[in-house]
Amino acid sequence: MHLEEFAEGDSFLHKADPRVKIIVFCLFSIFCATSTGLKIPFLCVIYSTILIFIAKIKIKNLFSRLIMANFFIIFIWIFIPFSYPTTFYISIGPINLSYEGLKYALSITLKCNAIILATIALLSTSSVFSIAHAMLHIKMPKKLVTVFFLFYRYISVIHDEYTKIKNAVTVRGFVPTTNLHTYKTYAYVIGGILLKSYERADDIYKAMLCRGFQGFFPLFEHFKIKKSDIIFFIVSVLIFILLWVKN
């Protein structure tokens, strides 16, 4: 399983200091989420799109992610235009759509996409390990970072266990059909994944304890902030301020 598909590359954003990227991302998200109207969210989308181009992200993979995320936004378009209070209705046949509601739904869509694009351009371009590492540097709670990191680390372990069991099942000639044997097998597979993952986690925890683990990861390498990182930070913050003043 490849979870960090955007983390490989050598664009400016891939090489940038993760600490700077996290701070810029947080500022951008807060700014974007609290903006109102259509103009600022639209400009935010443009800003994130530029970041995507700087990061040289593969458009095909990007779209598959965006489609997944926008699936949830469809629900906003289903409910808000019908329920938002407004002074002006757009009638299509027997259906009355709230004008304000449509504007509001569009604004939410733009904001969501702007933040998703920024997440991909800024956060996905670093490995999760360096993000966790950077989070420690900017003084986020150690426990939180450890939980975040272990959680991420073990998604792939559970997936591994799943592949193992899937292989065990297929090499012994299992072909799913509609019968009790198939359902029973699926139940065993799910039970097996839970048990094996738990056991694996327990073993790894024991191994960590044996090597002196005390609840958090010590830092081994350190980041070096470069001139280009500072310039990127200043330019981004200036853009946010400019947009904010205009708003």
34 binds another protein (CB under 8 A): no
- Among the listed ranges 21-29, 165-173, 207-215, 220-228, the one in contact with another protein (CB under 8 A) is 165-173
Pick from 29, 103, 148, 192 the residue near another protein by CB under 8 A: 192
Q: How many residues bind another protein (CB under 8 A)?
A: 20
Residue closest to 103 by CA, chosen among 30, 31, 32, 39: 39
Q: How far is the CB of 165 from another protein (least distance, A)?
A: 5
Task: Report the DSSP beta bridge partners of residue 97.
Answer: 90
Q: How far is the CB of 163 from another protein (least distance, A)?
A: 9
Q: How far is the CB of 194 from another protein (least distance, A)?
A: 11
Residue closest to 49 by CA, chosen among 125, 128, 123, 116: 116
172 binds another protein (CB under 8 A): yes
- Among the listed ranges 83-91, 118-126, 161-169, 239-247, the one in contact with another protein (CB under 8 A) is 161-169
Sole residue written with tokens 């933040």: 115
Pick from 11, 86, 119, 185 the residue near another protein by CB under 8 A: 185
196 binds another protein (CB under 8 A): yes
- Among the listed ranges 25-33, 75-83, 105-113, 184-192, the one in contact with another protein (CB under 8 A) is 184-192
Pick from 191, 219, 230, 241 the residue near another protein by CB under 8 A: 191
Q: What is the CB-side half-sphere exposure of residue 173 using CA atoms within 13 A?
A: 0
Q: How far is the CB of 7 from another protein (least distance, A)?
A: 14
| C-beta of 175 vs 245, nearer to another protein | 175
7 binds another protein (CB under 8 A): no
175 binds another protein (CB under 8 A): yes
Query: Which residues of the shown chain bind another protein in the complex (CB under 8 A)?
Result: 164-165, 167-175, 181, 185, 188-189, 191-192, 195-196, 199
